[in-house]
A and B are shown apart, each in its own frame.
Chain A
Amino acid sequence: MSALAPKFKLSEFIKSLLDNAFWMVLLVSLIGLPIIQIILFYIEMPVIDGELLTPFLAMTWLADPTRTLPIVKAFMATDMFRVMAFPGFGFAALIAAATIFVERKMLAKLQLRVGPFYCGKIEGILQLMGDGLKLISKEIIIPAKADKPIFWAAPVIFVATAAAFVALIPVAPGWVVADVDLGLLGVFAVIGFFPIITILSAWSANSKFPFIGGIRALFQMVSFEIPLILSLLGVVILTGTLNLSEIAASQSSFPWIIFLPVGAIVFFITMLAELERIPFDLPEAESEIVAGWLTEFSGMMYGLVQLGTYLKLYAFAGLFVVLFLGGWNGPMVVPPFPEELLTGVEMGPLTVGPFPGLPLFDQEMLNGTLWFVLKTVGVIFFILLPRGVFPRIRIDMLLSLGWTKLIGLAFVNIFIALGLLYAGVLGPGGLQ
């Protein structure tokens, strides 16, 4: 009986609802709409169907669903959409989040455990959301003598640097945030920032375990950067360009991993080391130095570092796909766009359409994205796999591996590429 409050009166309830509705309408029409108009007045509006999109027209079109698509399409052509949503942050963060969940579930299956199970009805699919809520509602504790500005900034800058790395990875023909001529050198430049951020955060925490972990991370990332750089030189020799989109486009008939398997293996191993994944997870060795350079991070700061790590993982997997596995190239599997949507569909007595603005994406882009995502997910699977299988290696083994074996193999790879080029197998006059 007492589901309702004791002094509940329907008339007052309706009155309060109407009250709220009144204030909302008043505020939206007096403040909200003018603000939108002012914002639209100041940003540069596109020309759609030969008509300049004025703020008034934009508002009208947004209310008319058949006219919304051209506006959406014009928005998709902007840099802002690329940065925020599709080849940029939103897409990468989605894949990163999926990777975290798949990793936990897959490792559990590998080790005959169940993994996340209770959160969400089916196989714990809501675990990640629960973790996010938990992290954001936890208190952030900062050690007393820490260098506070740097300590606060480090996780945010880590995520932002990983995002800048993602910006350079082409996903489909023409779909890349930053299509630059020296894309590969840009990648090396961005990778070079990670040790700095790590050592800064480790130093600013003023605690012993982060400091040891930071020093280890510095050693590991720095000494594996050289085999990383050298192992990609073979691809550059064969393609003659540093633009990542052109490198991906050059593999339309065969991926470079067929001719440069040594380089691919070396790059994969250095990738594991740069990502601090098992068997190279010395900077975070949880059985020796608590959590390495992440020890003092709590709450959402730790969540941000995790997000940055997995963004970086996606970016490295994407780089492997672009350089060795052919990027977006693959057989055309996406069906052609239905023609009748362009002319109008007859639904009984009515004719719906035509829809101006369709198709939003061309088939090439959809196909490219599909193949890129499939290959990237495959590479991510192989990056995750060693974590369930291998133990951690010692730091002197790590360094001698990086400095003797991997650099030697990277040079072997360079000579293979030179030999293929000068023997006339590849390059001008060869297969391509």
Chain B
Amino acid sequence: MVGELAGNYSTVVLMFAFGIAAMAPALIISRMVSPRKRSNPVKFLPMECGQVPTGEGRTHFMMQYYPYILMFVVFDVMAIFLYAWGSALLELPKSATLPMMGFLAIMFGAMAFALYQSGRRKIW
């Protein structure tokens, strides 16, 4: 049963594999066709608009707006839970909507608090 359910998705994986199999030759042909001239010292440097690059490429980067990522982790799961409810809604009794509204209210409260904090703290 589980295998059957997963087997339905095999065509998606097949399409993914076909995408790789069809596009990898483009890179290989390009590698065979294209000229590969001798290198000079600046050819393989990372692009920095004509300047000689300084420092590391993978620098420390200030993660602004980081709390949005934290909020994402919570709300993404919430959204998928809502799908489990929404797709079965036609078979459920109407009273089953009430707990869902309570759930939404709690999530809304949490989100409003988070956004309120985002207005108060300048680092967001």
A residues touching B (Cβ–Cβ < 8 Å)?
79, 82-84, 88-89, 135-145, 152, 155-157, 159-164, 166-168, 177-181, 184-186, 188, 190, 203, 205-209, 211-212, 215, 219, 222-223, 225-226, 229-230, 233, 236-237, 240-242, 290, 295-296, 299-301, 303-304, 307, 395-396, 399, 403-404, 407, 411, 414, 418, 421-422, 427-428
Known A89-B19, A208-B53; 13 more pairs at CB < 8 Å:
A136-B29, A138-B34, A164-B15, A166-B15, A178-B11, A184-B83, A208-B57, A211-B59, A211-B61, A219-B68, A229-B80, A240-B88, A290-B49
- In chain A, what residue has the closest Cβ to B107? A411
Residue in A138, A180, A185 whose beta carbon sits within 8 Å of that of B30 in the complex: A138
Please give, as numbers and ranges, the residues of chain B lying within 8 Å of A207 by CB-CB distance. 46-48, 53, 57
Please give, as numbers and ranges, the residues of chain B lying within 8 Å of A83 by CB-CB distance. 11, 14-15, 18
Task: Assess whether B15 is in contact with A139, with CB atoms less than 8 Å apart.
Answer: no
Task: Assess whether A206 is in contact with B11, with CB atoms less than 8 Å apart.
Answer: no
Residue in B13, B45, B75, B79 whose beta carbon sits within 8 Å of that of A144 in the complex: B45
Please give, as numbers and ranges, the residues of chain A lying within 8 Å of B44 by CB-CB distance. 141-144
Interface residues of B in 62-87 (CB under 8 A from A): 63, 65, 68-69, 71-72, 75-76, 79-80, 82-83, 86-87
* CB of B26 closer than 8 Å to a CB of A: yes
Task: Assess whether B65 is in contact with A219, with CB atoms less than 8 Å apart.
Answer: yes
25 A-B contacts (beta carbon < 8 Å): A83-B14, A83-B15, A83-B18, A84-B18, A88-B18, A89-B19, A136-B30, A139-B37, A143-B46, A144-B46, A156-B27, A157-B20, A160-B16, A160-B17, A160-B20, A167-B12, A178-B9, A178-B12, A205-B57, A207-B57, A208-B48, A208-B59, A226-B75, A236-B86, A299-B30
Please give, as numbers and ranges, the residues of chain A lying within 8 Å of B47 by CB-CB distance. 143, 207, 209, 290, 295-296
CA distance A145 to B55 in the complex (A): 12
- In chain A, what residue has the closest Cβ to B11? A178
The distance from the CB of B68 to the nearest CB of chain A, in whole angstroms, is 5
- In chain A, what residue has the closest Cβ to B115? A404
The distance from the CB of B106 to the nearest CB of chain A, in whole angstroms, is 14
CA distance A225 to B78 in the complex (A): 12
Task: Assess whether A164 is in contact with B30, with CB atoms less than 8 Å apart.
Answer: no
Task: Assess whether A163 is in contact with B16, with CB atoms less than 8 Å apart.
Answer: yes
- In chain B, what residue has the closest Cβ to A228? B79
The distance from the CB of B96 to the nearest CB of chain A, in whole angstroms, is 12
Residue from B13, B44, B80, B86 with most neighbouring chain A CB atoms (10 Å): B86
Task: Assess whether B46 is in contact with A140, with CB atoms less than 8 Å apart.
Answer: no
Task: Assess whether A163 is in contact with B79, with CB atoms less than 8 Å apart.
Answer: no
Please give, as numbers and ranges, the residues of chain B lying within 8 Å of A303 by CB-CB distance. 26
Task: Assess whether A164 is in contact with B19, with CB atoms less than 8 Å apart.
Answer: yes
Task: Assess whether A145 is in contact with B57, with CB atoms less than 8 Å apart.
Answer: yes
The distance from the CB of A88 to the nearest CB of chain B, in whole angstroms, is 6
Residue in B33, B36, B79, B88 whose beta carbon sits within 8 Å of that of A226 in the complex: B79
- In chain A, what residue has the closest Cβ to B100? A418
CA distance A236 to B85 in the complex (A): 10
Please give, as numbers and ranges, the residues of chain A lying within 8 Å of B115 by CB-CB distance. 403-404
CA distance A241 to B89 in the complex (A): 10
Residue from A144, A301, A427 with most neighbouring chain B CB atoms (10 Å): A144
The distance from the CB of A134 to the nearest CB of chain B, in whole angstroms, is 11
